[in-house]
Amino acid sequence: MFKKVTIDLGGRPLTIETGRLAKQANGTALVTYGETVVLVTATAAKDPKAEIDFLPLTVEYQERFYAVGRIPGSFFRREIGRPSDKETLSARFIDRPLRPLFVKGYQHETQVIATVLSADQQNDPDVLAMIGASCALIVSDIPFNAPVAGVKVGYVDGKYVLNPSPEEWENSRLNLIVAGTRNAVVMVEGGADSLSEAEVLEGIFFGHQALQPILDMQEEMRAAVGRAKMAVAPPVVNEALKAKVAELAREGMQAVITMADKQERSNLYHQLQKDVIAAL
């Protein structure tokens, strides 16, 4: 079933549609912002992998020369080789906000593939890929709990700017990617130039507020064309053991999460693991 939703986001139209392309996938989303277009597909195996205890999720982000009107000059006219650093990093920040929101116990091999079909050099396709990935999962039968959206936030001339243009990025003192659900920020990535902690925090809140209409779009898509989610057996949890581990680790974890040095934090965490296992 075809569904298309459009809103105004930062002075430009953002459109999400599904049901027209990649109909054999479990879920699809075609996201258009300005003249940048990204197709995202979500597919899952029919049967779970019973021998594993983690979510077998693969996220790929692909940029193609044809997206900017270029064709490879090789004899075969094909783009081959390893993903670029940009593609690898983009795939990772799409994966990070999605992975915790799958239903616990879901162990079906799942692939989310984002392909940039058109890039207008004004609107970044990577954040659109994150939005499309969430929407493709939401309308599919894959058990994904909540929609996620992402935006970019800049700080130009004392004002926060939503999804800045390349010209605005050159003068921005803040470069943030904010991903969130309805009630929580699930990922922040970026950097700042001589901004206070309060100003950066306000930028995060600005981004989280700005992405709410994108969540509304996805909820509208789910209500109109969403498929029934596949059943997942909840994992068996030993509540007594869980409570005992929490009791033994609580004080040590407070020290771990407040340790600023990364290497020291890692050493402290591994030592805490050993101590808890020994105590059990």
**pLDDT beyond 90 at 125:** yes
- What domains appear along the chain, each with residue ranges and CATH number? 3-147+211-225 (3.30.230.70), 239-279 (no CATH)
Helix (H) or strand (E) holding 7: strand 3-9
pLDDT mean across residues, the chain: 92
Each residue of 31-54: pLDDT tens digit?
A: 999 999 999 999 999 998 878 888
Name which of 246, 202, 215, 248 is nearest 5 in CA terms: 215
Q: Tell me how far apart the alpha carbons of residues 95 and 112 are, in angstroms, rounded to a whole number.
A: 9
Count of other CB atoms within 10 angstroms of residue 90: 25
Q: Phi first, then psi: give them for residue 121, nearest 5 degrees.
A: 70, 10
Q: What is the pLDDT of residue 116?
A: 95
Q: What is the pLDDT of residue 84?
A: 86
**What are the CB-based long-range contacts (under 8 Å, 24+) for 156-162?**
160/202, 160/203, 160/206, 161/10, 162/9, 162/10, 162/206, 162/207, 162/210
Each residue of 173-199: pLDDT tens digit?
A: 999 999 999 999 999 999 999 899 999
Q: What is the pLDDT of residue 75?
A: 61
Longest dimension (CA), the chain: 64
Which pTM value belongs to this model? 0.85
Per-residue DSSP letters for 148-184?
-EEEEEEEETTEEEES--HHHHHT-SEEEEEEE-SS-
CB-CB contact of 265 with 256 (8 Å): yes
Q: Kindly indicate the confidence band of residue 234, based on its pLDDT and cuts at 50, 70 and 90.
A: confident
Q: What is the pLDDT of residue 72?
A: 66
**pLDDT beyond 90 at 149:** yes
* Residues whose CB is less than 8 angstroms from the CB of residue 5 and which lie 6 or more positions away in sequence, other chains included: 15, 16, 17, 217, 220, 221
Mean pLDDT score, 212-217: 97
More confident position, 81 or 240: 240
Q: What is the pLDDT of residue 172?
A: 94
Q: What is the pLDDT of residue 237?
A: 82
**pLDDT beyond 70 at 74:** no
Q: Kindly indicate the confidence band of residue 162, based on its pLDDT and cuts at 50, 70 and 90.
A: very high
Q: Kindly indicate the confidence band of residue 18, based on its pLDDT and cuts at 50, 70 and 90.
A: very high
Mean pLDDT score, 95-123: 94
Residue 105 CA: distances (Å) to CA of 26, 55, 139, 183, 279: 19, 8, 20, 23, 28
Block residue for tokens 């898509």:
221
